[in-house]
Amino acid sequence: MPEPILAFTRVSKRFADGTVALAGVDLRVAPGEFVSVVGPSGCGKSTLLRIASGLSEASEGTVTVRTDKPGYVFQDPTLLPWRTVQANVELFAELRGLPKEERRRRAEEAIELVGLSDFARHRPRALSGGMRMRASLARSLTLAPELFLFDEPFGALDEITRERLNDELLQLFLARRFAALFVTHSVTEAVYMSTRVVVMSGRPGQVLGDFAVPFDYPRSSQLRFDEPFAHLAGQVSARLRGTSRTTGGGSGGLKSEATAQVAGGHAEPSGSPPVNQGSGGLKSAAGTQAAGGHATPSGSPPVDKAVHR
Ligand code: ADP
Q: Is the CB of 45 under 6 A from ligand 1?
A: yes
Q: Is the CB of 43 under 6 A from ligand 1?
A: yes
Q: Cα dist. 277→126, 178, 218, 249 in Å?
A: 36, 19, 7, 47
**In the chain, what are the domains?**
6-295 (3.40.50.300)
CA distance 124 to 180: 26
Q: Is the CB of 46 under 6 A from ligand 1?
A: yes
Q: Is the CB of 171 under 6 A from ligand 1?
A: no
Residue 291 Cα, ligand 1 centroid: separation in angstroms?
35
Half-sphere exposure of 122 (CA within 13 A, CB side): 13
pLDDT tens column, 83-140: 999 999 999 999 999 999 999 999 999 999 888 999 999 999 999 999 999 999 999 9
Residue among 47, 49, 186 whose CB has most ligand 1 atoms within 8 A, to mutate: 47
pTM value is 0.80
211 SS3 class: strand
pLDDT tens column, 28-79: 999 999 999 999 999 999 999 999 988 899 999 999 999 988 888 888 889 9
Q: Whose CA is nearest to atom 25 of ligand 1?
A: 15
Q: Is the CB of 21 under 6 A from ligand 1?
A: yes
